[in-house]
Amino acid sequence: MPSIIEDATPRTNFTVVGDVLPSQILAGSRLSYYIAISVVLFCIWLFQSDKQKCSVSAPFYKASRLKWMFSADTLIRDSYSKFRDTVYQIKSTEGVRTIIPSSLVGELKGLPEDTLSARTAVKEAMLSEYTNLCAGSHSDTLSLLLKCKMTGQLARMAPQLKEELEYILATEFPECQEWTPFKIQPFMVRTIARLSGRVFVGPLLNRTEEWMDVSINFAITAFIAVIKLQFFPPWMRPVAQYLVSELRTIQRDLEKAQNMLTPIIEERIRDAETPGYDKPDDFVQWLQDALPEDQKTDFYIQGKMQLLLSAASIHTTSNLTTDCIYDLAVHQDMQEILREEVREVLCDDEAWERKDSMGKLKKLDSFIKESQRLSGNVTSFIRKVMRPIDLSDGTHLPAGTNLLAPMAGVAVDPRYYPDPEVFDGLRFWKLRQHQRSPSSSSSSFSSPPAAPTTLDEPTLNANGRWQFTSIGDTAMNFGLGKHACPGRFFAGCEIKMVLAYLLLHYDIKLREGEGRPTPNMFMMTKSPSMTAEVLFRRRSAV
Ligand code: HEM
């Protein structure tokens, strides 16, 4: 989700498993009641007036709202192949969206919040007025802590992450002495929740089922609440909110998080009085240190920031890790190629903790980026125009215009990615080897991100643009500009660790005759199958 923090995004940025939805929504004893209400609302919604305000002078791509709901991927690809370098518009479930091509997005990415706002766009997309899903005045603190405290210190966290990974594999992954079918998606969600939780709240809380439950399900509950609210026209929502039980669950979860964190923070405040006290090194502490004096004992803020952080990070990262496993199972030849690289780089225990180790996994980096290219966000760059903007092609964007970038189309544009439909796990690695490529001479990529002092390469050179964490006008899976995902370096580190470990210890394949599991598409959200089984077999030699 975009960042749910700001409220969710492009994926609409709430990359939450779509097929969780029907079962969750329909669960419960009052099934028929819900079905009846849903059918009525669905009809109202489907036939409600199409006269939406659209003051941008740009062509429309005609498509039903149903297409936006259930096959946004195809909708964006089809419309992109028709308009490509032109600004165009689509009617979404929440009004008109103006689609900005890669050739023009560069003119917008540097604009200030008071002209082009990411925060307002996400806030509106997440219906924060009702869901309370917004970091508000703490948004900047949150991003800053991720950039400075987390990204800058990834190497220091590596031992804890590895320990956590080994723990969950030992306790929740099957033995796999023979080929063993396993539903990898739910396992990946728990694994990423554990790894992230270790850094977010520390080891005391992150292994408790109560924390796992609230940190994983908060995003799903929020997603369902937003979807349900969207079925009501805006004028009905002030009343309709009382029919959406998930809104109450969100409040309960926020209280639960606060209650779980309170004794931990109180103890830390007490311990800080002791001379020589060694502060814990996790997000709770970083935030505690960053909060102004009068908010240091407002534990609700801590709970809320933690759940927003979990919502922005757990499903996005676990979805991509799952997609990588599906791609590894399909492209078996890649397993030994990547394993060889992992063996070379992570040759002993200390190598896992070395500052530059993850950055050296360049083939693995390329594989993950290629998985993301074909399975990632449908749209990106969710923004709202706050002051009128004129683009160089003559398009006038009045205040109030809602923007999106057509990621699903850009990702398969042959001008940027030759043979775009082919999965080539080494695509970006080859580009890094050659440094220059057909598209690199066009100025479609923004300059590489500031050099992270992380497990990634310490200095980005000319080929930095092809790294998993690099962003640019044609590579917007992590967004663009000031609000680009500040957690992407951490995500890259987690995904590499999990894949490297699994590659070293297991062979992976699909059942005979089965193809790559079909992703779920729902409301701009694309997510890997939750139910598909992949076969794993433990390797005798690492
Ligand atoms: C593969 C995993 C991830 C993907 C695909 C992803 C994607 C995104 C995208 C598309 C945005 C919106 C950027 C924009 O609008 O320009 C975003 C924002 C954000 N993400 Fe991520 N993200 C991932 C992992 C994470 C992780 C692990 C964290 C935290 C540790 C995180 C924290 C955030 C935050 C706080 C924002 C809001 C930034 C702002 O508005 O200034 N994300 N992410």
Question: Strand 506-509's sheet: what is its strand order?
Answer: 180-183, 533-538, 506-509
HSE at residue 66, side-chain half, CA atoms within 13 A, is 4
> Is the pLDDT reported for residue 403 higher than 50?
yes
Distance CA 215, CA 194 (A): 10
User: Rounded to the nearest whole angstrom, what is the distance from the C-alpha of residue 317 to the centroid of ligand 1?
Assistant: 10
CA-135 nearest atom, ligand 1: 35
Give me the long-range contacts of 350-357 (CB less than 8 A, separation at least 24): 352/158, 352/159, 352/162, 352/497, 353/155, 353/158, 353/159, 353/162, 354/155, 355/155, 355/455, 355/458, 356/455, 356/457, 356/458, 357/158, 357/455
Tell me how far CA of residue 144 lies from CA of 5, 139, 148, 212, 483, in angstroms.
Answer: 13, 9, 6, 25, 11
In a domain, 130, yes or no: yes
In a domain, 151, yes or no: yes
Domain total for the chain?
A: 1
User: Rounded to the nearest whole angstrom, what is the distance from the C-alpha of residue 523 to the centroid of ligand 1?
Assistant: 19
Asked whether the beta carbons of 19 and 223 are under 8 A apart, the reply is: no
Beta-carbon count within 10 A of 28 CB:
10
pLDDT digits (tens, 9 = 90+) for 309-326: 999 999 999 999 999 999
pTM above 0.85, yes or no: yes
What share of the chain in percent tops pLDDT 90? 74
Q: How confident is the model at residue 445 (pLDDT cuts 50, 70, 90)?
A: very low
485 is in an annotated binding site: yes
In a domain, 245, yes or no: yes
CA-480 nearest atom, ligand 1: 16
User: Rounded to the nearest whole angstrom, what is the distance from the C-alpha of residue 40 to the centroid of ligand 1?
Assistant: 36
**Cα 251 to the center of its chain, rounded Å:** 23
> Is the pLDDT reported for residue 435 higher than 70?
no
Residue 32 has what pLDDT?
59
Q: In degrees to the nearest 10, what's the CA dihedral of 305, 222, 101, 443? A: 30
Distance CA 350, CA 153 (A): 17
In single-letter form, the type of residue at position 227 comes to I
Look at strands 95-99 and 402-405 and give their pairing: parallel
Residues having CB within 6 Å of any atom of ligand 1: 2-3, 5-6, 9-10, 13, 118, 142-143, 146, 309, 312-313, 316-317, 320, 377, 380-382, 477-481, 483-488, 490-491
In a domain, 5, yes or no: no
According to DSSP, residue 533 is labeled E
Asked whether the beta carbons of 58 and 395 are under 8 A apart, the reply is: yes
Beta-carbon count within 10 A of 387 CB:
13
- Pick from 525, 436, 431, 368: nearest CA to 1: 525
Distance CA 79, CA 71 (A): 12
Which residues lie across from 102 on neighbouring strands?
A: none
**Cα 343 to the center of its chain, rounded Å:** 29
Over range 260-284, report the average pLDDT. Answer: 95
In a domain, 350, yes or no: yes
CA-10 nearest atom, ligand 1: 10
CA-491 nearest atom, ligand 1: 27
Distance CA 113, CA 120 (A): 9
Beta-carbon count within 10 A of 50 CB:
7
Which residue has the least CA distance to atom 35 on ligand 1?
Answer: 143
Asked whether the beta carbons of 120 and 386 are under 8 A apart, the reply is: yes
In a domain, 9, yes or no: no
Distance CA 309, CA 287 (A): 12
Which residue has the least CA distance to atom 1 on ligand 1?
Answer: 317
Pairwise pLDDT comparison (93 vs 393), residue with the higher score: 393
Contacts of 404 (CB under 8 A, 6+ apart): 10, 97, 98, 99, 100, 379, 380, 381, 382
Residue 9 has what pLDDT?
34
Distance CA 360, CA 487 (A): 20
Which residue has the least CA distance to atom 31 on ligand 1?
Answer: 487
CA-479 nearest atom, ligand 1: 16
Residue 39 has what pLDDT?
58
User: Rounded to the nearest whole angstrom, what is the distance from the C-alpha of residue 479 to the centroid of ligand 1?
Assistant: 8
Over range 249-269, report the average pLDDT. Answer: 97
Which residue has the least CA distance to atom 24 on ligand 1?
Answer: 313
Which residue has the least CA distance to atom 4 on ligand 1?
Answer: 316
pLDDT digits (tens, 9 = 90+) for 20-64: 444 444 444 555 555 556 655 665 555 554 445 557 999 999 988
User: Rounded to the nearest whole angstrom, what is the distance from the C-alpha of residue 164 to the centroid of ligand 1?
Assistant: 23
Helix, strand, coil shares, percent, the chain, to 5: 55, 10, 35
Residue 331 has what pLDDT?
98
CA-143 nearest atom, ligand 1: 35
pLDDT digits (tens, 9 = 90+) for 135-187: 988 999 999 999 999 887 788 888 889 999 999 999 999 999 999 999 999 99
Look at strands 180-183 and 533-538 and give their pairing: antiparallel
- Pick from 175, 188, 182: nearest CA to 538: 175
**Residue among 1, 3, 122 to mutate when testing ligand 1 (max atoms within 8 A of CB):** 3
pLDDT digits (tens, 9 = 90+) for 407-418: 999 999 999 999
CATH number of the domain to which 496 belongs: 1.10.630.10
In single-letter form, the type of residue at position 69 comes to M
User: Rounded to the nearest whole angstrom, what is the distance from the C-alpha of residue 193 to the centroid of ligand 1?
Assistant: 15
Which residue has the least CA distance to atom 37 on ligand 1?
Answer: 3
User: Rounded to the nearest whole angstrom, what is the distance from the C-alpha of residue 28 to the centroid of ligand 1?
Assistant: 33
Q: How confident is the model at residue 205 (pLDDT cuts 50, 70, 90)?
A: very high
CA-150 nearest atom, ligand 1: 30
Which residues lie across from 385 on neighbouring strands?
A: 116
> Is the pLDDT reported for residue 443 higher than 60?
no
> Is the pLDDT reported for residue 288 higher than 90?
yes
Residue 48 has what pLDDT?
54
User: Rounded to the nearest whole angstrom, what is the distance from the C-alpha of residue 204 to the centroid of ligand 1?
Assistant: 26
> Is the pLDDT reported for residue 229 higher than 90?
yes
First to last CA, the chain: 37
**Residue among 485, 525, 526 to mutate when testing ligand 1 (max atoms within 8 A of CB):** 485
Q: How confident is the model at residue 111 (pLDDT cuts 50, 70, 90)?
A: very high
Distance CA 474, CA 480 (A): 10
- Segments forming the whole domain that contains residue 117: 20-538
Distance CA 88, CA 395 (A): 10
Largest CA distance in the chain: 68
Tell me how far CA of residue 202 lies from CA of 183, 198, 261, in angstroms.
Answer: 27, 4, 11
In a domain, 13, yes or no: no
Which residue has the least CA distance to atom 2 on ligand 1?
Answer: 317
In a domain, 10, yes or no: no
Residue 125 has what pLDDT?
94
Copy the structure tokens of residue 407. Answer: 């990621």
Asked whether the beta carbons of 503 and 513 are under 8 A apart, the reply is: no
User: Rounded to the nearest whole angstrom, what is the distance from the C-alpha of residue 197 to the centroid of ligand 1?
Assistant: 16
